[in-house]
Amino acid sequence: MARPGRFETPADALKLGRLLADTRRLAVAGLVIALLAHAALFSYLVITRSEIREAQPPTLEFVMRTPRLTKPFELKKKRVQRKMTRRQVQTEIVPDIAISERINRPDVFGTVTTFNYAIESGATVGGQAVVPEIAAFARLASTKEPEKRLSMQEEFLDLDALDTGKYKGLVIQDPTNKQDIQGFVYLALAVGEELDPPTPRAIPQLARAVNKYTMINAKVEDRLKLDSRDLFKAPFVYITANKAFNLTAQEVRNVREYLRMGGFVFAENGVPSLEYGPAEASLRKMFKDVLKKDARFIMLSYDHPIHHSFFDFNDGPPPGGEILSATGGSKVPSPHLEGIFLEGRLVAVYSDKAYGAIWEREFSNEPQLKMGLNLVVFALTQQGSIAQQQIDFYSQK
């Protein structure tokens, strides 16, 4: 055996060509086996794959059953026999009736004229003449259709029946007794875009006085906006201010139309101690803007009906807020109220007495509240006022 050389190793005994050939043969064999295995697996999956069924949505089946008759259905036709009959009607003889009219004295309804009717008939029953009587009723003259006309005798007996919201004040006064007055009225404090009245409790206190001294049912409404159409329903509007203000164009148009259609405004300076102050200037300017040349302020004499509409103030209106004298510094009462007339009707009263601030008190305000009551009664009963127009509509003289 030959002795190995100095640089020989065991690896020199390997035959690389043979080793390469064996490796290739084994790699090809392994690849073939892998392909066969995958082909077999694929075939198995394709052959043995089970079909997956998708779930179907639930369905509702309607079953219409044929109705079952409990009784046999029969169509029967009945013959109706009509007989012609003759009915004899005997006409009643209506006797001639003579109606005599007799006028009575005025009743508690004031200007409503009443009549009594006596009917004389020639018909006899049992040998005695029959004289039926018809109760007295108020004569109505209206453009309404007869079936839509109100029975004012029933309505006037209870004026609350007319308190439906259509009218804000209706009263009836006995012409022989001015304190015999009944009806209803809604009172509210007027406000404007710039007009913010300083006495919010004045109207509620005035309403209490009306309820206390009269049979008028006085109620307090929310603030009355001068640019609202509700203004034309109010028979009495109270406007007061303690600072400068201006009316909008719409407010001016509303107040102008309201006064000319029968409205009544009691305007009051809330700061009478400040002579010719901003509030007084604004109130006087308001009437100038509304009535233009017709805004003429006239002192109301002590014998004017406004001082005697319910209570008598023979010495003029009671003192209220007073004007500071420019010389002595003492307080003197404002002796008169001022009025504005349109065609002989008093449409507005201006006051420098600040009655509203005194009305708000809980004591020492009875004369001022009574004067306020006179203003309300006058506004309701004055000829041509909104309230009297409604009364005249239903009961003409």
pLDDT digits (tens, 9 = 90+) for 127-182: 444 444 434 333 333 344 444 434 444 444 466 777 778 889 999 989 899 999 99
One-letter amino acid at 235 equals: P
Q: Could you say which residues of the chain have pLDDT below 70? A: 1-8, 11-14, 49-55, 62, 67-159, 322-334, 394-397
Give the pLDDT confidence score for residue 22 in this predicted structure: 83
How remote is the C-alpha of 156 from its chain's centroid? 25
Give the pLDDT confidence score for residue 52 in this predicted structure: 56
Give the pLDDT confidence score for residue 88 in this predicted structure: 57
Give the pLDDT confidence score for residue 227 in this predicted structure: 95
The CA angle 360-366-372, to the nearest 5 degrees, is 70
Give the pLDDT confidence score for residue 51 in this predicted structure: 55
Give the pLDDT confidence score for residue 164 in this predicted structure: 79
Give the pLDDT confidence score for residue 347 in this predicted structure: 97
- Going by C-beta distance under 8 Å and a sequence separation of 6 or more, which residues neighbour residue 220? 186, 187, 188, 203, 204, 207
Give the pLDDT confidence score for residue 90 in this predicted structure: 56
Give the pLDDT confidence score for residue 6 in this predicted structure: 64
